[in-house]
Homo-oligomer: A and B are copies of this chain.
Amino acid sequence: MATVCPTLPWSPAGIFLLLLSLGFVKGGRLLVIPQDGSHWLSMRAVVEKLSEKGHEIVVLAPETNLLLKESEHYKRKTYAVPYTKEELHQGFSKFSKHHFDKVSLFDMALAEYRNNMYIINLFFYNCNSLLQNREMVRYLEESKFDALFTDPALPCGVILAEYLSIPSVYFFRGFPCSLEHAICKSPNPVSYVPRCYTSYTDHMTFSQRVMNLLVNSLETPLFKELYTKYQDIASKFLQREVHLPTLYRNGSIWLLRYDFVFEYPRPVMPNMVFIGGINCEKGKNLSQEFESIVNASGEHGFVVFSLGSMVSEIPMKKAQQFAEAFGTIPQTILWRYTGQPPPNLANNTKLIKWLPQNDLLAHPKARAFITHGGSHGIYEGICNGVPMVLMPLFGDQMDNAKRIESRGAGVTLNVLDMTSKDLSAALNTVIYDKSYKENIMRLSALHLDRPIHPLDLAVHWIEFVMRHKGAPHLRPAAHDLNWIQYHSLDVIAFLLAVVLVAMFISWKCCLFCCRKCFCKKGRVSKSSKTKAQ
Contacts and interface: CB of A to CB of B under 8 A. Distances in A.
Given A448-B12, A451-B6, A477-B202, A187 B53 contact: no
Interface string A422-457: 000000000000000000000101101111110111
Interface string A265-307: 1111111001000000010000000000000000000000000
Interface in A1-48: 1-2, 4-14, 17, 20-21
Interface stretch (A127-135, A230-238, A353-361, A485-493): A485-493
B6 A453 contact: yes
A79 to B, nearest CB: 31
B192 A478 contact: yes
A452 B451 contact: yes
A64 interface: no
Interface of A: 1-2, 4-14, 17, 20-21, 49, 52-54, 186-187, 189-192, 202-203, 206, 209-210, 213, 260-261, 264-271, 274, 282, 443, 445-446, 448-453, 455-457, 460-461, 464, 467-468, 471, 473-478, 480-481, 485-488, 490-492, 494-495
20 contacts: A1-B53, A5-B5, A6-B456, A7-B453, A12-B449, A13-B451, A191-B487, A202-B477, A203-B477, A209-B490, A210-B494, A210-B495, A264-B477, A265-B269, A265-B270, A265-B475, A266-B270, A267-B267, A451-B456, A451-B460
Nearest to A263: B270
> Considering the complex of A and B, which 3 residue pairs feature the smallest CB-CB distances, nearest first?
A202-B477, A187-B187, A6-B452
Nearest to A264: B477
Nearest to A10: B282
A191 B17 contact: no
Contact of A4 (B187, B445, B456, B473): B456
Contacts of A20: 1
Contacts of A453: 6-8, 11
B456 A191 contact: no
Contacts of A274: 270
A63 to B, nearest CB: 32
Q: How many copies does the complex hold?
A: 2
A206 B265 contact: no
Given A187-B187, A191-B485, A448 B10 contact: yes
Contacts of A14: 4
Contact of A477 (B192, B467, B468, B490): B192
B2 A491 contact: no
A307 B355 CA distance: 66
A8 B7 CA distance: 15
A69 B504 CA distance: 63
Contacts of A282: 9-10
Nearest to A272: B268
B473 A260 contact: yes
A17 B3 CA distance: 8
Contacts of A8: 4, 453
A445 to B, nearest CB: 6
Contacts of A13: 4, 449-451
A265 B473 contact: yes
A190 B266 CA distance: 19
B206 A491 contact: yes
Given A191-B485, A265-B474, A480-B203, A491 B49 contact: no
Given A213-B491, A265-B270, A488-B191, A52 B12 contact: no
A452 B1 CA distance: 18
Nearest to A450: B11
Given A267-B186, A282-B10, A486-B191, A446 B460 contact: no
Contacts of A468: 445-446, 449
A456 B3 CA distance: 9
A449 B468 CA distance: 10
A339 to B, nearest CB: 36
Given A8-B4, A12-B449, A189-B486, A473 B261 contact: yes
A187 B451 contact: no
A265 B476 contact: yes
A281 to B, nearest CB: 10
A304 B182 CA distance: 45
Contacts of A192: 476-478, 480-481, 486
B209 A52 contact: no
Contacts of A203: 477, 480
Contact of A457 (B451, B471, B494): B451
B1 A54 contact: yes
Contacts of A488: 189-191, 209, 213
